[in-house]
Structure 1
Amino acid sequence: MPARVIDGVLAVGCGAATTPFAAAGLIYGYFRWQPPLWFWLPAVVLVATAAWFRRNRPWLFAGVALAGWVVLSGIFAVVLAQYTVAERTRSWRLTAISTFGTLIVVGLPIWRLGGLDASLPQSIAVCVAPALLGLYVGTRRELISEMRERVEQAEQERDLRVRQARSDERAQIARDMHDVVTHRVSLMVLHATALEATNGRDATKVAGRIGSIGRAALDELRSVVSVLRASDAAPLAPQPGLADLVDLVDQTRALGVPVVLEADTGGQAPALVQHAVYRVVQEALTNVRKHAGNPETRVRVLRETGRLRLTVLNRAGAASERVDGLPGGGHGLLGIAERIRLVGGELTAEPTADGGFLVEAVVPLEGKSGR
């Protein structure tokens, strides 16, 4: 039943119980009289109106109900007022104050006419019992409301974590696809360009390189796609690490880029750190060939105390050696910077004073290392 319908019924009941006809059988009261119509009718309307607004103004209703008891012996409104004050305030202190005052006002005429034996049980029934019931109902409603809010908040936080996890996973897949596709396809395009420039010389050798790069790209793409299809666990194929830098540099040298590798690959390093460093070198060498041509490039991977330092430095390249037409979305450096950040490191990428470019990453070997 709607709350306003209940309020209407209770308001009518309070007004009807305050009329002289309903209170005629009561022998208790401050005034044993027959009030005129012009007096009791407005009083009844006032009590009913206060009962209608009792949810928002419980103390006003309590005062009007006590006044109705004093002048017209309307006891039902007092019972409802006690319940309402306790249920709306949910305060033991305020309820105790209200109950004590109501006990005096209600119990005094009953005690005067019937003595303590009559006043005590009736006063408890009229004043104390409704207040206790109101405290119970109000406190229970508050607890249920708080539990509901906590459940809703927990659901919102869970949905937020799910959305964040999906966003992180999409970003991770995007980085993997970029690293695999961009590097391998760029190598294939560069080899095809070199094949075109040779006018058929060494065609078999270059075509073999293109095929080898294509097969490697397919293998890595299958590994990435298997992550999307796997329902229980990630694929067991190892990800490239520091030991694979030699092959990566050899592939770049085959394109005519003079690369010098200085790598301390000994010792142990977390697999995610090794993979992140490998991807940084991969992206940096790809950018060297795309944007600088065939400049002298130096790759250094050095172990320091508790961390790994990577630098990829290339000199300025000749404009005639640059490869045009290779697509670039501008997300490569952002992707490797995010990879380094996820393993707890920092990456800087900036041009040098002599026209070259420097990519430097510092990654801790202990501590945060995860996606």
Structure 2
Amino acid sequence: MSAGRTAEGDNARFRKLVAEGATTLPVAFDLPTRAGLDSDMPQALGLIGRCGVPVDSIDDMRVLFRELPLDRVRPTLAADVSAAPLLILCQLVAEEHGTRARRVVGAIRNDAFRGFLAGGAGGLPLRPLLRLAVDVLAYGVAELPGWRCLSVCGHHMAGPGADPALEVAFTVAGGIEYLRAAAASGLDADVVVPRLTLCLAGSATGAENRAKLRAVRRVWTRTVQERLTAAAAVPRLYVQDPRCGTAPAADRPRAKAIEAGASALLDRLDRLGGTLAVVEQGLGDESLGRRREPPPQPRPHLSSAVLGARQTERLAKLRAWRVQPAVDEALLRLRKAAQGDYNVLYPMKEALAAKATVGEVCAELRAAWGTRRPHPGPY
């Protein structure tokens, strides 16, 4: 069985990539970190270092980015519920390196829908997650203009085995919900769209990918104009396959079929109460005529015990050396911001700079916003 990931190991890999000329650093975090759990929490048992690196605090992020030129490389952070604190930790470390925040460039996977669907019992409810995603976006616009801070993981929303029409429909619907939420917070579509990425699953052929991308562009443009009465550009599109490009004439009939199917499904989503209601209530594929099995639960791995002991020791030292009253005060300000309408990333930055942990920060958000309840739906 392979060993779990560590900040030291990933840092060595990143430095090698940079030495070879890489300008993008893909950072994957382990399952507890993505769920907003510290490595010494009972729920993290057996999962530390699985599928990515554990990052519990600024100390771990310092190790992860040690000796890396954050003014010249682009980190891409694969986060979920913990996107906000991980983005802040990256900013704090960059500033320690002497790089001004406005010069740091990167991207973070920050999808409220994915975080909700993958969160399980104990995760944040969908609407607070949507508010948090918009807070991240607004913070990025003001403080980190070089970052792409919002995404829609359409392949995850639609579910394994979904046909292209369903995937396109859910992807566009998720993007529209972000535009609405951002508008309610005072952000214009022309500010949101350049920082939004629509992610699609790769298909078996390049022709299928090209048809899907053409359909997404057309459905997005029409839906924004009809439902938001706005003329917004198409966001950045990402598909998990390089064989894309512009759809040639031979692919256009297929693109039109996907477009028609996606438009019909968007209308059905509206009749079901809208995207938020469909995802919150677990209607999804089943209500749209498709059924899927729940995703398998991750299996604990043997090396996690060793990594867990190491991370627990690091956390104990962190808590012993930090100024606890400063941490407590910053966390209290964070909770009050979450209970009100203030952007939570500003007090979150204070807390993380004072050496609060990712788990402690996310615990304050859960205390303010509650947790989702499990439901019997297909999600």
TM category, shorter: under 0.3
Task: Please give the TM-score of this superposition, normalised by the length of structure 1.
Answer: 0.21
- Which structure ranks higher in relative contact order (CA pairs < 8 Å, sequence separation ≥ 6)? 2
Q: Which structure carries more helix by proportion?
A: 1
Structure of greater Rg:
1
Task: Please give the TM-score of this superposition, normalised by the length of structure 2.
Answer: 0.20
